Structure 1
Amino acid sequence: MQYQINKLSYFFMKKSLIALSTLFMLGGTSFAQKVAFEEYDLANGMHVILHNDPSAPVVITSVMYHVGAKDEQPDRTGFAHFFEHLLFEGTENIKRGEWFKIVTSNGGVNNANTTEDRTYYYEVFPSNNLELGLWMESERLMHPVINQIGVDTQNEVVKEEKRLRYDNSPYGQIIPQIKKYMFKNHPYRWTTIGSMDHLDAAKLEEFQAFNKKFYIPNNAVLVVAGDISNVAQTKEWIQKYFGSIPKGESISRQTYKEEPITQQINGTYEDPNIQKSMALVAYRTPSMKTRDARVLDMISTLLSDGKSSRMYKKIVDENKVALQIGAFNYSQEDYGTYIVYGLPQGDYTNADLIKQVDEEITKLQTELISEKELTKLLNKYENQYVSQNSSVEGIASNLATYYLLYKDVNLINTEMDIYRSITREEIREVAKKYLNNNQRLVLDYIPAKDKADKK
């Protein structure tokens, strides 16, 4: 399964959409055009969004559920991600092990991914198999088979994923360590993959209860995107396969508040899988739904996106203090985390690198960026908009996300207007508001063999 939270590998990577194939690319002339869609609700509370584009003979059926790692109990972490795997085990009408065979034998591909905030499943089929895609997703929702065989099988799969992505991966503990320091009350403090001990201890009835609570039509959005020129027929199929699914009980969600960070937090982590130290600085930021979060996105682009960015030019090219430098705003539904990372070069230390980072942030807090820099930023965001909506898979994911997490589907067309309205003064003020030394974590991420040297 695609696993969103840890797309780090050696270095951090920003959020990206995975292109399924050039087959699914839309015509170039339509990139910057408005994304047309229709939305409505079924009687059971399931939200439906349709996007018709017949430029390629493919269609995506996708369902996003409003359940992620933050909806778990502290002693049962990892459930949301576990279900990303478990719900491919089979249904009452799809035998165990047959799901992927059905998809591939009908010319399709499928996948799923989980974050702290939601879980997303999708199939891509030739458009003449749209009904099949709808039936399969309705089966996942209405008739999942959750038994001990499936739980035991996927338990081993998830353990191997954790070993690969976290335990044995260079710099694989960066996100877990940052979360541990940045959040004390909020469930964001644990990783999406969760604790293997928690999964081992869970009884079958607990997995069944999790499914019953969160996998309900009134906690989901269905998106059908691509070649659905026969919209009336599509609606009939949606009603046929999803309309009869019973509405679930309303979900009561707890609100978690984190106290402001008022003095610098210092931490150290020793990673046995690395040979080169990494300097890490993290600041808590507001929900991704806020305007400030978007300004922070632009700040990270200004500071570290590409070799012409401020930090790369100054710290890597000119001063040669770092081999690599980067910054990004890790946006989430309730809070975000602004992370700066870098690998010091030669005899330079993590502290030397952080000092250089502080100088660039101070400059951003005290001086307006140039008009040329602002224009360059906006051009990059225009290109990013084009990229994110250049495939039907990207459009489907964005439509689901904007509905479920932002509560405004039309942001797929208007969010770029928000970025265009951000001013140079606003960039300076947001940097002053969130990126201060007394509001941050400084994490010394070092090789385990350095332990004796640091005593």
Structure 2
Amino acid sequence: MKTTRTALALWKIPKLVGGIVILLLSACAKNTPTTSQAPAQASPQVKEEIGFRVPVDYYKLDNGLKVVLSRDTTSPTVVVAVYYNIGFRIEPKDRTGFAHLFEHMMFQGSNNLGKMEFIRLVQRNGGTLNGSTRFDFTNYFEILPAHKLETALWAEADRMKGLAITQENLTNQQGVVKSEVRVNVLNQPYGGFPWLDMPQYANENWYNAHNFYGDLKDLDAATLEDVKKFFDTYYAPNNAAIAIVGDFKPEEAKAMVQKYFSGIKPATLPAQPDISEPKQVKEKRFVKKDSLANKPALAFAYHMPPRNTPEYYAMGLIDQILLQGDDSKLYQTLVQKKGYTGSVSGGINYLGNMFNYNGPMLWMGNLIHDSTVPADSIVTVLDKAVADLKNQGVDQATIDRALVKIRSSLYDNLVGFYGFGRADLLASFALFDDNPARINDLEAEFKKVTPALIKKTAEEYLQPTNRTILTVDPLAPQTK
């Protein structure tokens, strides 16, 4: 993959050295007597909790474009992130991988920028850029010196107005995507495991369960008419949000957004398909044969509670308790005590984070393990960890530790990658909730989680009947 862009959401926001740089602070005002005066009556210390809040200026243009501004003068840079409310979850049937293919097409030229000139424009102005396709959106962003904000806005508006949709570009990008599928999935040990595989096994609704990277025959079947229709339908201002984060003057930024985006016509948006997932009532188990793998692997997945419910936030903390970090229960048992594996990975939404999706989701974990370890031995460890949550519960101290970890992760995102992490959440909340200010409520929602809610959530959602187990069976390569 090129460093300038990534076709699918496999990149993560880099961690900052030193971890959190923004935490809740406390200030203490004191009365200190001077040596020339008699001490005054002692005043009680005044402690004030100062919570960091992300600046959010949110409005909409007349054509429906959602705009979020968040000023941050920490460094003389600016992030422009454009999110379209179209991900691979609702791409056309018989066109698997089409949303991802179209992401490639967005770099092939527009009204005033020729093929690949968008990338060169950003790079020559000292910036970097990327794009990705996720479950519920496709995004494009640039990070530039602050004085180049107008350049980024002009370029993004230019391709929103009109894309260079030609048969040559389509044929070329079909080949690029097919090559990417072969390299990243088909010819890779553990290719697609479990981020691409598990949704197909665990879900029933086609929209959640199809191969979103794309079957090669479906990629070949995409026509120029398909591409034009897709662009006209989904790449419209009333189906998009733009987040601007960094060192800028708000009034100047608003004037630029108005100048370049207000004249773009909105589209008639189709009704959203039903992406709800039926309740799972029986455990599912599958085996994937992988002739390129040299060790067996196992992944588990549980269907998540609905987004933004109390149980959703409880699952965020359960993830921290069971799966995240060296102090997590599964790491401590599977790695430290049993020695079944060298690492355990997992989380909520493998193609992003627990905030930037809008529909059914899985909480997953996965590991590669020694061939001498039966898969059922790993499942037994998982069952024991879950049973402890249900039967013994957790104390407040355990929740407090989980809160520290999830707050650390959240604030790492907010300050990471020159502000892109902040732009990502602001644009997502604008698209999905029409309320980017939700970014400032997340920590408070996690703090509402009680030991009783953890127990209730575990009992309801961490049931074997709500679970899918996928194992990888390594096979010797076939001889010619």
TM-score (norm: length of structure 2)? 0.86
Q: Which amino acid aligns with 2:165?
A: I
Aligned residues: 439
Q: Could you tell me which residue of structure 1 aligns to residue 474 of structure 2?
A: 447
Answer yes or no: is 1:329 the counterpart of 2:348. yes
Q: CA deviation at 1:117?
A: 0.4
Deviation string 1:233-277 (CA, Å, 9 cap, x unpaired) is 222211111000011113311113332211121211111221110
Q: Quick check: 181-190 or 268-277, which moved more?
A: 181-190
Q: Could you tell me which residue of structure 1 aligns to residue 448 of structure 2?
A: 421
- SS of the aligned residue for 2:343 comes to strand
Q: Which amino acid aligns with 1:439?
A: N
Q: Tell me the distance in 1 between the aligned counterparts of 2:422 and 2:385.
A: 36
Q: CA deviation at 1:149?
A: 1.3
Q: Could you tell me which residue of structure 1 aligns to residue 430 of structure 2?
A: 403
- SS of the aligned residue for 1:335 comes to coil
Verify the 8 A CA contact 2:20 2:408 in the aligned structure 1.
Answer: no
- SS of the aligned residue for 2:52 comes to coil
Q: Could you tell me which residue of structure 1 aligns to residue 38 of structure 2?
A: none
Verify the 8 A CA contact 1:77 1:198 in the aligned structure 2.
Answer: yes
Verify the 8 A CA contact 1:186 1:258 in the aligned structure 2.
Answer: no
Change (3 A) 1:236 1:6: closer
2:140 is matched with which residue: 114, 121, 131?
Answer: 121
Change (3 A) 1:189 1:425: same
Q: Could you tell me which residue of structure 1 aligns to residue 246 of structure 2?
A: 226
Q: Which amino acid aligns with 2:227?
A: F
1:17 is matched with which residue: 2, 13, 29?
Answer: 13
Q: Tell me the distance in 2 between the aligned counterparts of 1:164 and 1:291.
A: 41
Q: Could you tell me which residue of structure 2 aligns to residue 10 of structure 1?
A: none
Answer yes or no: is 1:379 the counterpart of 2:404. yes
Change (3 A) 1:58 1:413: same
Q: Could you tell me which residue of structure 2 aligns to residue 351 of structure 1?
A: 376
2:160 is matched with which residue: 137, 141, 146?
Answer: 141
Structure 2 unaligned residues grouped into runs of 5+ = 26-50
Q: Could you tell me which residue of structure 2 aligns to residue 369 of structure 1?
A: 394
TM-score (norm: length of structure 1)? 0.91
Answer yes or no: is 1:281 the counterpart of 2:308. no
Q: Which amino acid aligns with 1:17?
A: I
Deviation string 1:157-188 (CA, Å, 9 cap, x unpaired) is 21122122211222223233322222222411
Q: Could you tell me which residue of structure 1 aligns to residue 45 of structure 2?
A: none
Q: Which amino acid aligns with 2:6?
A: Q
Change (3 A) 1:267 1:450: farther
Verify the 8 A CA contact 2:78 2:244 in the aligned structure 1.
Answer: yes
- SS of the aligned residue for 2:361 comes to strand
2:196 is matched with which residue: 171, 176, 180?
Answer: 176
Let me know the Cα RMSD of the aligned residues. Answer: 2.3
Q: Could you tell me which residue of structure 2 aligns to residue 433 of structure 1?
A: 460
1:150 is matched with which residue: 148, 169, 194?
Answer: 169
Q: Could you tell me which residue of structure 2 aligns to residue 200 of structure 1?
A: 220
Q: Which amino acid aligns with 2:148?
A: N
Q: Quick check: 133-142 or 263-272, which moved more?
A: 263-272
Q: How does 1:199-348 map to 2 (within 5 A)?
A: 199-229=219-249, 231-330=250-349, 331=354, 332-345=357-370, 347-348=372-373
Q: Quick check: 244-253 or 209-218, which moved more?
A: 244-253
Q: Could you tell me which residue of structure 1 aligns to residue 46 of structure 2?
A: none
Q: Could you tell me which residue of structure 1 aligns to residue 211 of structure 2?
A: 191
Q: Tell me the distance in 2 between the aligned counterparts of 1:239 and 1:327.
A: 42
Q: CA deviation at 1:30?
A: 9.6
Verify the 8 A CA contact 1:320 1:345 in the aligned structure 2.
Answer: no
Q: Which amino acid aligns with 1:379?
A: V
Q: Tell me the distance in 2 between the aligned counterparts of 1:107 and 1:149.
A: 30
Verify the 8 A CA contact 1:27 1:55 in the aligned structure 2.
Answer: no
Verify the 8 A CA contact 1:55 1:227 in the aligned structure 2.
Answer: yes
Q: CA deviation at 1:27?
A: 7.6
**Greater CA radius of gyration, 1 or 2?**
2
Q: Tell me the distance in 2 between the aligned counterparts of 1:5 and 1:131.
A: 27
Change (3 A) 1:445 1:433: same
Q: Tell me the distance in 2 between the aligned counterparts of 1:384 and 1:29.
A: 11
Verify the 8 A CA contact 1:64 1:400 in the aligned structure 2.
Answer: yes
Q: Tell me the distance in 1 between the aligned counterparts of 2:77 and 2:365.
A: 40
Q: CA deviation at 1:28?
A: 5.5
Q: Tell me the distance in 2 between the aligned counterparts of 1:293 and 1:314.
A: 25
Verify the 8 A CA contact 1:322 1:343 in the aligned structure 2.
Answer: yes
Q: CA deviation at 1:191?
A: 3.5
Change (3 A) 1:432 1:216: same
Change (3 A) 1:222 1:254: same
Verify the 8 A CA contact 2:323 2:365 in the aligned structure 1.
Answer: no
Answer yes or no: is 1:104 the counterpart of 2:129. no
Q: Which amino acid aligns with 1:386?
A: Y
- SS of the aligned residue for 1:405 comes to helix
1:83 is matched with which residue: 102, 115, 124?
Answer: 102
Q: Tell me the distance in 2 between the aligned counterparts of 1:437 and 1:26.
A: 36
Q: Could you tell me which residue of structure 2 aligns to residue 13 of structure 1?
A: none
Verify the 8 A CA contact 2:109 2:164 in the aligned structure 1.
Answer: yes
Q: Which amino acid aligns with 1:345?
A: D
